[in-house]
Structure 1
Amino acid sequence: MTSRSVQTDRWLTLEGTTNTRDLGGLPTTDGGTTRPGRVLRSDNLQTLSATDVHRLVQQVGLREVIDLRSIAEVLMEGRGPLRDLSEVTHRHFSLLPERGHHTDVFAAEEAELPEVPGGWLESLLPRQVGGADQGEPPAVRSYLGYLEHRPENVVGALRALAAADGASVVHCAAGKDRTGVIVAFSLAVAGVPHEEIVADYAMTAEVIDALVAKLAASSTYAEDMERRDVASHTPRAETMERVLALLDERYGGPVGWLTANGFGPGEQAALRARLRD
């Protein structure tokens, strides 16, 4: 497994986020490494400072935001600072079943009184579960639930990453669950071995105290943060290990799941090139 020092070097320290890191520098099964400056993963981007925005856009070369939050989260949180920049494209792919429908959630957020879907609190943070996996731990069931309920958006997010120019950032609220699943699939396509995917997923545990504190400071997430202790929010390596093991068992791995859901060899090659070449 990659050493802690190499993993830690991938953190991007920003004033307005607590869980931002680069997917570059990870080893692949064929002896290569993923390229830095192509895909980042992060928690919510609503509180980026002006300095953060300059660094991301001017220094990192950020040109695309892949937002995995629910419609309710987008509308409750409102516009983030990157939304004002014409050079940064925003794309929305919720991984949760939605109540209500917006054809353009980013247009809806600009309304004076946006329509928040009914029952939004129930799906504020990702706890939807796969119906066929009742014997699995809750976090595993949640992640399998994304694949069961929103496979088109899992694939859509990866297609957006594959087609992007410049750097992309994938994010949700905490940058660990929904983001963790999309990142796991991306890294698998790039040829990163399972143990490295698991290690990347588990890195969020290093910043979990600051991450929970940040979410607790938002009126959108405060109530949920108060209901559970920090330990219940902390990602565990065995969660991602189990998800990857089930994908291996059922589909021959994450790439097999993608192929079965319409993200075929050509698109996989494009995503691999984004992360590798």
Structure 2
Amino acid sequence: MTLVNFRDPAALADPEGRRVRHGVLYRSAQPYPADNAAIVEQLNAAGIRTIIDLRGEAETEDADWARSRAAGIEVVAARVQPTDRKLEAAMMAMTTDADLGAFYLLMVESAPGAVKLAVEAATRPGGLLVHCAAGKDRTGWLTALLLDLLGVPAEEIVADYHRTTAALPQIFEGLAERNRNALNDYHAGSLTVPRPLLEAPADAMAAFLELVDARYGGTEGLLAHCGVDAATIEAFRAKAAAPAAEVPAGVTA
């Protein structure tokens, strides 16, 4: 079994390669049931040399990336805990898609060190894979921030995020098998998952990007708040931005 929801967001968000080099940034859900030979082949075929794992420590298992590590692919654990006291309170109060967007910004703000580590890892040579558990929420906002640094229009970033909708049945099936006890608790009524968290609504990502602009003046301001320096941002752009010579006349980056 290969990775679920695996894709190069630039291939759809920037199909002509005007802003982003294709084959640099990929996204997916976590490996299920665990890393295997087919996944290693999938990563090697895409030229991926670094994996950024955004899951919290309790979400991971030793076998998750064992084969890929053995094959020489580096795994960077940039831990973003799925909940803490503030996140749990925001989750309980969540009713709208805009609330989910605000929840995403709260997640970023809750883990500045992990965000800094992830962006620094994104500058390493070779292709990069970003993933969390479902490959929707933490993966969604980090991918959005990286694409925004490269000048991808907000509407295309939102559209890429929303594309995860098609993979949600398969994603949730894998999560259910991996987290059977939590699923039993959910059916027993001891857990309540807000409706927006079970979807990939376009309005959530649009709200997130708007909040980043309103509160921090844009992605660079938010990343600076997380400790990411200007040199790291420029190194990522040097790696992932489309060469100026390839940008058609009249198109702004």
TM range (shorter): 0.7 to 0.9
> 1:71 Cα deviation (Å)?
0.6
> 1:159 Cα deviation (Å)?
0.9
Partner in structure 1 of residue 248 of structure 2:
none
Partner in structure 2 of residue 264 of structure 1:
229
TM-score normalised by structure 2 residue count: 0.79
One-letter code of the match for 1:235? Answer: A
1:238 equivalenced with 2:203 (yes/no): yes
Moved more, 184-193 or 78-87: 78-87
4+ aligned runs moved over 6 Å, structure 1: 133-136
One-letter code of the match for 2:53? Answer: D
Deviations 1:87-113 (A, max 9, x none): 11111111227xxxxxxxxxxxxxxxx
TM-score normalised by structure 1 residue count: 0.73
Partner in structure 2 of residue 147 of structure 1:
108
> 1:225 Cα deviation (Å)?
6.7
Partner in structure 1 of residue 143 of structure 2:
183
> 1:138 Cα deviation (Å)?
4.1
> 1:229 Cα deviation (Å)?
8.9
1:129 and 1:34 map into 2 onto residues whose CA distance is: 37
What secondary structure is seen at the aligned counterpart in 1 of 2:60? Answer: helix
Deviations 1:46-105 (A, max 9, x none): 434422312312x21221110000010114x644343442511111111227xxxxxxxx
What secondary structure is seen at the aligned counterpart in 2 of 1:197? Answer: helix
Deviations 1:129-164 (A, max 9, x none): 669x989754223212212211121121011111x1
- Higher relative contact order by CA 8 Å / sep ≥ 6: 1 or 2? 2
Query: Superposition RMSD on alpha carbons, in Å?
Result: 3.1
Could you tell me which runs of 5 or more consecutive residues in structure 1 were left unpaired when the two chains were aligned. 1-14, 98-122
1:187 and 1:129 map into 2 onto residues whose CA distance is: 29
1:151 and 1:177 map into 2 onto residues whose CA distance is: 16
1:195 equivalenced with 2:182 (yes/no): no
1:158 equivalenced with 2:144 (yes/no): no
Could you tell me which runs of 5 or more consecutive residues in structure 2 were left unpaired when the two chains were aligned. 243-253
One-letter code of the match for 1:143? Answer: Y
> Does structure 2 conserve the Cα–Cα contact (< 8 Å) formed by 1:140 and 1:242?
yes
> Does structure 1 conserve the Cα–Cα contact (< 8 Å) formed by 2:100 and 2:204?
yes
One-letter code of the match for 1:213? Answer: E
Deviations 1:156-177 (A, max 9, x none): 1011111x11111111100000
Identity level (%): 30
